[in-house]
Structure 1
Amino acid sequence: MNPSSFRTASRHLHRLCRAPATSRNASVRGYATTFNWEDPLVASELYTEEELAIQDTARQYCQERLLPRVLDAYRNENYDRQILTEMGELGLLGANIEGYGCAGASTVASGLITKEVERVDSGYRSGMSVQSSLAMTAIHDFGTQELKDRFLPELAKGKLAGCFGLTEPNHGSDPGSMETVAREHPTKKGYYLLSGTKTWITNSPISDIMIVWAKLQTTGKIRGFVVERSQCPPGTLETPAIKNKTALRASITGMIQMDDCPVPAENMFPEVQGLAGPFTCLNSARLGIAFGAMGALEDCLNRARTYALERKQFKGNPLAKYQLIQKKLADAATDAAYGTLAATQVARLKDAGKCTPEMISMVKRQNCDRALANSRILQEVFGGNATSDEYHIARHVANLFVVQTYEGQSDIHSEYHLVLLSCLYGD
């Protein structure tokens, strides 16, 4: 191409780039006329009308009722117990459970709820996920019909609060080595006595019921129990709060300390043994986390974009003019879009009965890793102002470190993948 032709083509391309999207794309077959940076890969077209309506309900509640509270809650480590009741009134708790006062929505809809809650704060999402994906799922999947009838309707309404006791002070990523033990009551037939300590348990200080996993003294098998606070004599159950956290401060976290805590035998899950029970619940929560992490990342992106457009530096230019800033935004937008699509696909497969634990492990690890990495980079857009909690970005960064860690730390999921992939090499 000679220089004259090159200049002509360059001017034409420049005019096209400056023209409105409708004029430059309308004549190109197969392309849309507009691009929505908030939904760049149009994931919304993959959702049903019901799923979109549920997401809209969750978003409106979160933006109108949760966002105004979050700074005070985070600063003061003050979780409002009323939040569970509010969520219950909207049908947001145990949303993908059929019956028992639950919405019976799809796994995708449940994921979109977690995404909207975590768009505000990961701690708020943690409180909801523990109630829904861990406590309610455990009772629904493994409890007797009596346990389901007794507890699920009240948990769905948020009238009862639940938690999930698996992690111990000496056993985080290795729950199979748990030390909590359940032994038959020596004098009271039909009862077990639970002794041991669980730690980093979201909701434990406010929980009415606790799902506790313990080893039977007689067999060494891990079994699940529903511990009712109201039925525990003084001195047998304590749930102290863990204070002075550096993240997830808008949620409440504590311990479960049991000293010969009596639990009726009918409160033990009758069939499930070993780690299959807790891991089933964790997989449900992990998929929600994969959605939720994208909500937090999208909020970081939106706040960084707004700041970059409004902040003027160097001859009055907005930060968004500079390509280094643009790259940070573009990378985050790409990972958020890809992560949302991946979580949606796995959720669809779960509803179709085609999902495997490996898929959930993969999407949880990837989405949490990318959310944390991008949020840290987006924090740089704010410069020193990022240290002010009123910009919200530092709170998300601190929270996402924990989100990457709980429900299976990223390195543990990575090791899991390496074991799975070894079959490719015949090892």
Structure 2
Amino acid sequence: MSSRKPPVQPREAGSTFHKPVSALAIVPVNRSLTVTARKVYNVMGRLAQAEGDTREEGYAAPLHAILHQSGTDSSATASAKRYLKEMMTTIIEWRQLSPGDVMPGEAEREQVFTLLSQADFYKVGRENWVRWWYPPAIKRQMLDPERWAQINLETVARLGTYCAVALYEICARYQGVGRTMRQDWTWWLPVLRGTDQSKLREWRKFKNEFVTPALRNINELSEIDIELVEHKKNGKFSGEVQFLVRRKDQRRAVALEDRQPVDVTVQGRALALDIREHDFDALAERYGQEAVARALDTLAQHVASAKTPVVNRLSHLRWLLGGVPDKRAPAATSTALPAPRPNAPVTPAVASAKQPEATLAQEKLAEAEQAFAALPREEQFRWLQRLREDLVARGVQLTPLLRSRLDAGQWQAPAVRSWLLRFYASQFDKQD
């Protein structure tokens, strides 16, 4: 029989967490770590610091309290269990932030650990609780860190991606110094992505897809401003990167207090549709959370109405987002919109080589829509039939809802419109 003491309500932990350096620049090596798991871990660490050393008793708190403080849906008990299991099964490598930065009392060597050593789930009355334990080295640092970053948990709850949370936490440590350490971009990649399993890509793509959106997120929603510095040698990018860190003035910092945490109910809907959190984050960064939320609604309708299972739901979701402009900052392009059909009364777009690619793509689809709307009804039906044949040839699963929209000629329906406009515009490209 267990000799543990009965659980008591945890003390009020506050919003400031002195996060040890050993938990900042971490790289999961056997699986990815989700942004929500990292947020939940921060809250649990702050609760443990408030309790102090409990010896072998571990630390206990209601699940809803942990989830609420991390900005997560406090009713998502099943999801919370998954996040804690992530912490116990994910092998973590700690990367030094600066030379000689080692755990106190430890030699300078590679540190490998899990974030938690054990977690028990149980009920107190009708309330779900969790009790957790840390590995010994992590527990020492968590309770009484000698070097730490001062993390604002309310800020962390507002940030939307793993990259933004990880970068904010590292930069928060250097608020007094004004700049982070200088590291090669390949050092930053796994630390900010939350995985060591992604293929290394060129810095420009990593910056545009992950770092730049994270900078915007942090500068808009946190108490600090961050600026990227790309170091050069002989006029060319040397591969080394660091970040300048400045605290916002008091007026701007106070204005942030009214900001709400990121809407994680959309993430919950994605998880319910078997869309992984990492995939949701990537799509939200690319298309915006509102667009992804609308696409999830359509996906849910397709899944509910399909007579056969929608096997690859992530591909289906990407398909639904096909006509949405990319919100990231892509490179400039000189591609112009091909001329429309002669019988379509549309003014051709004049595309400048300096226009962003996302703007050009949006204009191209807008012109395609105007041209298609001007076609006779019979010709529209012929194009819809050609689209249907193209989708089948490409292996796209046609749900009953999608088939009915195509058969009825409802080309403006969201599920049909995005595919149709891209297909219709692509035919002009082939003609040119």
Which TM-score bucket, shorter chain as reference? under 0.3
Q: Which has the higher helix share?
A: 1
Structure-1-length-normalised TM-score: 0.25
Q: Which has the higher relative contact order, 1 or 2, with Cα contacts under 8 A spaced 6 or more apart?
A: 1
